[in-house]
């Protein structure tokens, strides 16, 4: 047997040489793409072949005719990226893309790309990882991709999830599964998207309703009274979230250096935000006073930490968002949560007449490009005005008791 070493791999070439039994494989002339015939000669397998540490790595891309040579080339590009990532991590995992593969293959491919992304926030990555590892892999990981249907997904995944999870959580699982197959099909890793025509409403009858706000401005005296009883760190964490409507993960990871006196801004790095976009918030005179009082009250050892809220036994690490949420819930005696502070700020801003788009910008919600262009023209001035208005309102309703 022999191999053709200089040939452009196309569907036509595969059919043409299929009748020549002495040829069992050939290599693409311009890429590390290989094709190897199966025994019956009318099918075969595409491979990426790359030499790593003096050894050829054969990475299966998919089988013909389930995927075409054009699809194989798209898969080749992704497989090369994955191989590079695997090399960096000191491991070599085969990448296989075919409708005969299991759902787990696609889920693991997507998870690896998601976790390696430089544009996604840590919060987003953790959420995706949790959904895939806790719900998708255990329930449908062993199914073949080509076997996915409304009936199968209902029986194996969504009906069991509906029996034990809230509709909003089930919807998150559906959205991530939909995104996994959309991306896999978009880059040509699979020839068909089994999730293309399946909708959430077909699988889940319960409506996803927004949580009712547990706090309004009427509750501010209660919030301040409960915060007064907390430790100085949790008290300051709570006030920061109320003052700026920030997320608990953004707040718990704050560094002293994030507060820029020169520009009078709190700069939140992209890695700390849910949207993966850096954020900045105008700092009011009250906040500088609050931070100064808080730092002066910390033990000398804690003052040396770069973090506002370091862990007790590891000064070079901040407290986790989960721990921060638990501490705030304890302060509130379970009556409200860290996220309720963010909701309270958002509602109050509307009641105070603050422009809706400015409110969205302050919360660092994902904005459309047209909205971003609209906001950027006057955001800094309007955001500072909005926060000054809000902080003055809070000072008149109990905040003046701090620090």
Backbone phi, then psi, for 382, in 5-degree steps? -65, -35
For the record, the structure tokens of 233 come out as: 């760190």
CATH code, 2-88? 3.30.160.390
Residue 209 is predicted with a pLDDT of: 59
Which residues does the chain have with pLDDT short of 50? 1, 89-96, 370
Domain ranges of the chain: 2-88, 103-203, 217-401
CATH code, 217-401? 1.10.443.10
Residue 230 is predicted with a pLDDT of: 93
Query: Does CATH number 1.10.150.130 belong to domain 103-203?
Result: yes
User: pTM of whole model > 0.95?
Assistant: no
pLDDT digits (tens, 9 = 90+) for 128-187: 999 998 999 889 988 888 888 889 999 999 999 988 888 888 999 999 999 999 888 777
Residue 87 is predicted with a pLDDT of: 54
């Amino acid at each position: 047997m022999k191999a053709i070493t200089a040939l452009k791999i196309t569907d036509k070439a595969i059919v043409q040489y299929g009748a020549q039994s002495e040829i069992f494989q050939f290599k693409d002339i311009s890429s590390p793409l290989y094709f190897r015939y199966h025994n019956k000669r009318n099918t075969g397998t595409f491979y990426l072949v790359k030499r790593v540490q003096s050894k050829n790595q054969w990475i299966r891309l998919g089988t013909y005719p389930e995927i075409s040579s054009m699809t194989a080339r798209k898969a080749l590009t992704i497989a090369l990226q994955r191989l590079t990532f695997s090399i960096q991590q000191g491991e070599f995992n085969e990448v296989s893309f075919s409708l005969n593969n299991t759902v787990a293959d696609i889920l693991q491919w997507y998870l690896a790309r998601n976790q390696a992304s430089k544009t996604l926030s840590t919060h987003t990555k953790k959420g995706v990882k949790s959904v895939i590892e806790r719900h998708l892999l255990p329930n449908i990981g062993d199914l073949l991709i080509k076997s996915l249907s409304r009936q199968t997904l209902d029986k194996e995944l969504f009906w069991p999830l509906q029996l034990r999870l809230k509709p909003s959580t089930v919807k998150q699982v559906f959205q991530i599964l939909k995104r996994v197959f959309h991306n896999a099909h978009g880059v040509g890793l699979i020839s068909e998207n089994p999730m293309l025509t399946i909708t959430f409403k077909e699988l889940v009858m319960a409506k996803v309703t927004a949580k009712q706000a547990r706090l309004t401005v009427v509750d501010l005296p209660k919030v301040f009274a409960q915060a007064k009883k907390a430790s100085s760190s949790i008290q300051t964490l709570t006030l920061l979230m109320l003052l700026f409507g920030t997320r608990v993960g953004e707040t718990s990871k704050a560094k002293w250096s994030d507060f820029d006196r020169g520009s009078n801004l709190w700069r939140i790095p992209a890695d700390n935000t849910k949207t993966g976009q850096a954020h900045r918030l105008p700092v009011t005179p009250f906040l500088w006073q609050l931070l100064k009082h808080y730092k002066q009250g910390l033990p000398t050892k804690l003052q040396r930490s770069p973090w506002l809220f370091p862990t007790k036994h590891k000064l070079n690490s901040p407290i986790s968002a989960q721990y921060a949420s638990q501490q705030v819930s304890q302060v509130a005696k379970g009556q409200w949560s860290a996220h309720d502070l963010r909701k309270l700020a958002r509602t109050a801003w509307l009641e105070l007449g603050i422009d809706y788009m400015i409110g969205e910008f302050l919360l660092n919600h994902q904005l459309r490009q047209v909205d971003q262009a609209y906001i950027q023209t006057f955001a800094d001035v309007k955001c500072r005005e909005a926060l000054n208005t809000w902080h003055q309102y809070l000072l008149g309703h109990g905040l003046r008791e701090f620090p």
